[in-house]
Structure 1
Amino acid sequence: MTQNNTQPTPNILCIGSVLWDIIGRSPVEMRRGSDMPGRITQLPGGVAMNIAMTLARFGLKPALLSAVGRDDEGVELIAACARLGLVTDYIYRSDDLPTDRYMAVEGANGLIAAIADAHSLEAAGDKILKPLRDGSLGSPTSPFTGPIALDGNLTLSLLDDIANDPAFDAADLRVAPASPGKAERLRPFLTCNRGTLYVNLEEAGLLCQADFTDSETAAKAMLDRGACRVLVTDGGSSATEASTRSLITLVPPRVTVARVTGAGDTFMAAHIAAESRGDTCEAALASALKAAATYVSGEPPL
């Protein structure tokens, strides 16, 4: 596999879900069984995609490693990625797997319900990692050396393989669950003491099998469980960055919430971008919180 010469060389890889987000939003509070007026939009999404889009806005050149079908939805999605400045040359294109989708309903009181259909990504398995092993982007003997953003939509067995794969030995690995329901898939990175993990308070609780009331306590517990480095967010209350060298807790800016889907991905991307600029740990955390707050207020994160 070779890269299209019209595309610049990527300086960061985003591995995971690239799909269509179908989001229904109502400006009023909703509950189970609510039937409210609102707007339904369809946009490129998925954890890896959301992170890549934000990284591109911050001036980085991300490449996507994912699975996208050759159906009409997939052709349209690849074109949309290219228009956003993302490198799509390394995406696994399947003839028999449909393009994945995510559907959510949001009200003024936040996310009401969501369903992620990432079955094609899961079925593709390690085929999406071929460019990191065949020399296109790296190999086990000459691994990729830049940052890699990895999302938890991959299967537990594949995430376990990645946590132990020499093709990732030289990478700056950043890992996030796709949702609380998939948080426990990140457990191999605790076991291997590898990578930087981005989780919210609920996800930290699932990984540690405990209930936490604040981000700092959760971050410390994750380090005790084997995490190398972790960033724990707690909505508008606080966020903590912790490693064996430091522990920093900040309070995010207060904003009126207009949307929530993609906020965690924006936080992660903005943090990676800030550290790539050489920001200090505290400055990078503050920059990520500001970008996420701007995003949930309904504005672009820049």
Structure 2
Amino acid sequence: MRGGHVPVPPAGVPRPARAEAGRVRTWVSAGPVDLGLVLGPLRRGPGDPTFRAMPDGSVWRASLTPSGPGTLRVSVVPGGGAVRGEAWGPGGEWLLDGMPDLLGASDEPEAFAPRHRVVALARHRRPGLRLTRTGLVLESLIPSVLEQKVTTDEAYRAWRLLVRKFGEPAPGPAAGGRLWVMPAPRTWALIPSWEWHRAGVDDKRASTILRAVRVAARMEEASGMEAGAAQTRLELVPGIGPWTSAETVQRSHGAADAVTVGDLHLPGIVGWALAGNRSADDAEMLELLEPYAGQRHRAARLILLSGRVPERRAPRMTRGDIGKL
């Protein structure tokens, strides 16, 4: 989802108490909070079974935390900058403790200085943009591996099918029972080869995920490391390169400088927006983003949100489905 923005309706009227009340926390942000912008990068397609944006303006997430599965509902309190969080399950307390970071409390958007008009305008139009930090590595790493070298639709389908088949229902009301917690590392490791095939995942991506979950504890340890060191650790696993590690730490660490290299479209989008060159490669993209050193991911995200994208010349990437072979 280019730019990572999920439409979230404005906060509605206060809802009645739930029959299954969870633990509650209220957090007051120093600035505006746009749930669709902040949490949007965590949703893997409109059918993501771990994420729901509801008509009442709330966002629901189901996560596998170090304390176990948990469900978190967040909503902006009408008339103020407060955000209300409600959580269920063994991991609920962990999710509430991490809610401020999830909503961008550890981000420093004020450190960003726009150097191009298109970037400055995008920032002005999106005052609620903050970079999320989940503190969870595998929940961002695994879907990022699924997105390697395929269309987003194929990757989203694979994530949806595998989570629903091998995950578990999220604790609590869970957006009306429509949320699922992703499988535990051991469960990923035990998925039969034919199930990967049915989900459209080739042997290369499946093998990368299997190698990662075998060292799951080492992967999750990276959440406490500086983003660059975390990327280095992730890339020790064969099949995880700079593209995948950057996509992961952008979410797990809120890494403002982890620009994605090796992407099929991003260099051309950045090149077009900043220099009118739709044929830019990674080297030119990095050169154009050099004035934003330390904040290059944020700059690239604002460019994506600006909507300034070159017109498509070639047909879309062919969608495959090895599950039908």
TM-score above 0.5, yes or no = no
TM-score, normalised relative to structure 1: 0.28
- If asked which structure has higher relative contact order (CA below 8 Å, sep 6+), I would say 2
Hey, which of these two has a bigger chunk of strand by percent?
Answer: 1
The structure having more radius of gyration, on CA atoms, is 2
Taking structure 2 as the reference length, what is the TM-score of the superposition? Answer: 0.27
